[in-house]
Structure 1
Amino acid sequence: MRIFEKDFSEQWTNPVPLAKGPYVMPSELLENISYREALPLDTFPVIEDFEVVLLPKSRLLEDSWRKEWGYYLGFFSQQRGLLASFGLWGHAVIDYSQDFTPLDFWDLEQGWDQVIFERGEYVYVLEGDIDDYIDGYHCWFRVRKERYIEEWEAALKVARQIIKQKDET
């Protein structure tokens, strides 16, 4: 689990976007199995070196509560770089005192959407722009479920420690 002190100016994208077809709300991808089954899941690249990392607050919006402790969560690959942020710019609300691993998650904000779901031994991540029906999801990949869970647990442990230290000062 890494903590980065520099921000990433660019995010990795797939060479070919994953077409959305007729637009489906992120929540529908989770609730309706036929939408997920229509995705070409076998073509999703496997990110073997997947990490959940902490990224610096410089990318956060000014009114974000995360500025208080200075980091947000991101998905990273040593080979590919920054894959995605968890939630829009890392703003998904998480109760850090609870166990939390997003296996069925979606977020939707002003022109942006993200879907995370598990199927079999993998967790799938899709990220795109809502208004872009033609180009589709610009970031889509899968990671082994075991690694995904281990990475989340490690990142949350560190995040809780940082928050605890900030609260004690």
Structure 2
Amino acid sequence: MGKRKLYKNDRSIRLRDNNYSEQLPSLDLSAFPLIDDFQITLIGRGNLGMHLYYFSQSLNRKIASFPWWDNADKDISIMCISDIPLGTLRNPFIDGEQSWQILIWEKRDYVYIMQGDDPCCTEFHIWFRVRKEKYLAEWDKMINNFK
């Protein structure tokens, strides 16, 4: 997997503002590309420890990341499935740091992921969906690797 750049969509999603609980329900969720071969992987980053990435084998690249989550393996070793990054349409999981932000939420049978370049951003270059069953199974597998 190496140092390949992250997947990016051909066009960005732009929101009017960063009030995500109001903006996300207006999105056309059917337009989000489906990643059927979604995987979660950990990659070592030297003295920063392991970092977590979402990956697609068919795209042969990382599709989203948590660049400020140093030593993710240590946190995952004490997690349970209720601790995974997952919110709802009206209350999405939000994480952000310098030059990065991710939103993750579920609706019906899918988990939607959007990644932008700044905290509280309104433009997202990375956006896709995963079957909820697959998302949960991948997280369950990752958590159980440390039990």
Q: What TM-score bracket applies, with the shorter chain setting the length? A: 0.7 to 0.9
Bigger fraction of residues in strand:
2
SS across alignment from 1:14 = coil
In the other structure, the counterpart of 1:119 is 107
In the other structure, the counterpart of 2:138 is 151
- Residues 146 and 133 (structure 1 numbering): CA distance in 2 closer, same or farther, change over 3 Å? closer
Select 2:78's aligned residue among 70, 74, 97: 97
Hey, what's the Cα distance between the residues in 2 that align with 1:55 and 1:121?
A: 28
- Residues 16 and 42 (structure 1 numbering): CA distance in 2 closer, same or farther, change over 3 Å? same
Residues 1:18 and 2:13 are matched in the alignment: yes
SS across alignment from 1:113 = strand
Q: Name segments (4+ residues, structure 1) moved above 4 Å.
A: 131-134
Hey, what's the Cα distance between the residues in 2 that align with 1:141 and 1:107?
A: 17
What is the Cα deviation at residue 141 of structure 1? Answer: 0.2
In the other structure, the counterpart of 1:142 is 129
2:4–2:62 contact (8 Å) kept in structure 1: no
What is the Cα deviation at residue 110 of structure 1? Answer: 1.6
Residues 1:83 and 2:70 are matched in the alignment: no
Gaps of 5+ in 1: 1-5, 162-169
Hey, what's the Cα distance between the residues in 1 that align with 2:111 and 2:103?
A: 10
Bigger fraction of residues in helix:
1
2:110–2:131 contact (8 Å) kept in structure 1: yes
Gaps of 5+ in 2: 88-92
- Residues 79 and 89 (structure 1 numbering): CA distance in 2 closer, same or farther, change over 3 Å? farther
Hey, what's the Cα distance between the residues in 2 that align with 1:17 and 1:128?
A: 9
Larger mean CA deviation between 139-148 and 124-133 belongs to 124-133
Hey, what's the Cα distance between the residues in 2 that align with 1:133 and 1:53?
A: 26
Q: TM-score, normalised by structure 2?
A: 0.80
What is the Cα deviation at residue 108 of structure 1? Answer: 1.2
Residues 1:50 and 2:38 are matched in the alignment: yes
Hey, what's the Cα distance between the residues in 1 that align with 2:119 and 2:94?
A: 16
User: What does 1:55-74 align with in structure 2 at a 5 Å threshold?
Assistant: 55-58=43-46, 62=47, 64=48, 67=49, 71-74=50-53
Q: TM-score, normalised by structure 1?
A: 0.71
The one-character-per-residue Cα deviations of 1:77-113 (angstroms, maximum 9, x if unpaired) are 011211011x334449745313032212211112321
2:76–2:143 contact (8 Å) kept in structure 1: no
What is the letter of the counterpart of residue 98 of structure 2?
A: Q
Percent identical residues: 30
